[in-house]
Structure 1
Amino acid sequence: MSHTVLLTDQNSAMAKAVGAGFDQAGFLSLTHLNLQAGEWLQPETVSAALDRVNPHIIINTLGWSDDGRLASAAHLTEPTRVLVEACREREVAFIQLSSYRVFSGVKSGFVETDEPLPRDECGELYLACEKLVATLPRHIILRLSWVIGWQGENLLTKIINPLLAGDSAAIVGERRGSPVGHSEVVRVLSAMAKQISCGAENWGLFHYSSGNVCTEEEFAAEVERRVAAKCTVTGGLKDTSGSDTEPVSAALGYRRLMECFGIQPRTWKQALGQELGLWFSHHPMLLDSEVNTQ
């Protein structure tokens, strides 16, 4: 039996990764509502659209972004509020993407039982969405550490683009995180959706991160090393530590996800390798001739 998975977003880097990944997911059929931004704020429009699609699972990424800069009430919290109300009387599983930004960042790492304490408006918005979704009986909230990808605005592209453009890639070396790639997030979402479609009843709050932690300095140095091995790097890294206004630590514990869904984490270097491979496959003209001929 095919199960319909509704992805609320089509345009973000994460949505594009999920769309590409679910195309290969067998009995999961991915669909979209094709609503304009303002229509997500109209309860009657959203409810009618859900009636037409009749999804079994909703993955909500509306307003979510890798770097959090796009988060706003109009694009994140309010559409989620409308969606939640439309789903309240429906037999649908609701998966909400969230972020480490709901935490203070003052601990070395955070688990699901830690009390959220956002340090900025972005974190407050993510937390508000979590509280809305948590009122549904069949819900999953998936918090993520640093998310990296070959496209979009995220820590990886923030580093690789200046390196190849002859500019300085600004980092805050002392920040700590456990990076996960877009492809890794797709792997987790796909596994969750498949198990839900097979009758799994694992609801609530989950974290996902890589199996190990690094500083932003360590991550950037590894990006620079790998990129330099494939093409000419004309830029450099610039550590701006001391001006950090974001959480110090984005590291998340992932044990509950392992216990409930059997999903094993991978290392951040594995995630980096996968995303860099995708990046170079879309930018083959930047490879050094020696690499191209091998």
Structure 2
Amino acid sequence: MTILVLGAGGQVGRELVLRAGDRQVVGLDRHSLDITDRDAVVEALREHDVRIVINAAAYTAVDRAESDAEAAFAVNRDAVAVLSSALARTRTPLLHLSTDYVFDGSHSEAYAPDDPGTPAGTYGKSKWAGEEAIRARLREHVILRVSWVFGAHGNNFVKTMLRLARERSELSIVDDQFGAPTHAGAIAEVLLTLADRHLRAGRNTSIPWGTYHYTGSPVTTWHGLASATLAYAAACGMIDEMPVLRPIATEEYPLPAPRPKNSALDMGTTRALLGFDARPWKDGLIEVLDHWAAH
């Protein structure tokens, strides 16, 4: 009974394949499967005798999406609609990753899963449209929104901070955006556990379908994440010395795409219905930095 992982070359996708253990997992990256090709998607589902799909594929270039909206919507909305329609015909469940960017960040409290989407930028709009495409086509789904993802593979904020710390003695880091960093490995373990539950139960699955949030803990700022990253890196000898970290406002670091000021996602429903709690993001951070130090 195959678990098909789409986006196997990305941060979470790589972790899904690496942590699969003895599960029957097939991982396909963008070079192996063009998820915007309807016929190719249908053939992949048939060829691998798929029993559940984990979709970690996405267009995630937040700033480039502002000038490349067609590509962002093709991957994050249209391909997801194709996939959902194909899965609906065989009642094959979908576990789909989404993002905090479906919210504009104007709330003062953590966002609940049933709060209406209010995306401000093209990336967030395309991901929200993808969520809506799933909800309209496929009952058997879990949409898992995550935030501030970092991991040992691919590009992310933590890796960027480590590189810059080796090049500069002072770094200016945004300190008025709030969110919860989330370890890609922890996300992968949640998704694999959900897949296991479905495969054990079959048509009588006990998974309560719907939209959920999963993040690390606690909420911090980009400055806070950078400080923790570089303090540990300095202590381990990964960098020669700790650079000066200057906290700045969002307005001092303009980017093409708007960023949510508040990316905190409420996990109450996730704890109550799925049984998953937030893991300390510092544990995942140490795991990632130790991995890099060893390699």
- Residue type of the alignment partner of 2:89: E
CA drift at 1:93: 0.9
Is 1:60–1:96's contact at 8 Å kept on the other side of the alignment? Answer: yes
User: What residue in structure 1 maps to residue 91 of structure 2?
Assistant: 91
User: What residue in structure 2 maps to residue 291 of structure 1?
Assistant: none
Separation of aligned partners in 1, 2:87 and 2:99: 22
Separation of aligned partners in 1, 2:64 and 2:47: 29
| Cα 1:128–1:43 shift into 2, 3 Å | same
CA drift at 1:158: 2.1
- Residue type of the alignment partner of 1:116: G
- Residue type of the alignment partner of 1:6: L
CA drift at 1:117: 0.3
Give the TM-score of the pair, scaled to structure 2. Answer: 0.86
Q: How does 1:150-229 map to 2 (within 5 A)?
A: 150-166=152-168, 168-199=170-201, 200-229=206-235
- Counterpart among 233, 242, 249 of residue 241 in structure 1: 249
CA drift at 1:167: 6.1
CA drift at 1:133: 1.2
User: What residue in structure 1 maps to residue 284 of structure 2?
Assistant: 271
| Cα 1:36–1:153 shift into 2, 3 Å | closer
Is 1:63–1:70's contact at 8 Å kept on the other side of the alignment? Answer: no
| Cα 1:15–1:188 shift into 2, 3 Å | same
* 1:56 partnered with 2:51: yes
Separation of aligned partners in 1, 2:189 and 2:64: 24
Q: How does 1:281-292 map to 2 (within 5 A)?
A: 281-282=294-295
- RMSD of aligned alpha carbons: 2.2
User: What residue in structure 1 maps to residue 145 of structure 2?
Assistant: 143
Give the TM-score of the pair, scaled to structure 1. Answer: 0.86
- Give 5+ residue unaligned stretches, structure 2: 66-71
Q: What secondary structure does 2:25 align onto?
A: strand
- Residue type of the alignment partner of 1:151: H
- Residue type of the alignment partner of 2:197: Q
The range that moved more, 259-268 or 227-236, is 227-236
Separation of aligned partners in 1, 2:64 and 2:164: 21
CA drift at 1:113: 2.0
| Cα 1:76–1:224 shift into 2, 3 Å | same
Q: What secondary structure does 1:59 align onto?
A: strand
CA drift at 1:238: 4.3
| Cα 1:234–1:223 shift into 2, 3 Å | closer
Is 1:206–1:257's contact at 8 Å kept on the other side of the alignment? Answer: yes
Q: How many residues end up aligned between the 2 structures?
A: 276
- Give 5+ residue unaligned stretches, structure 1: 283-294
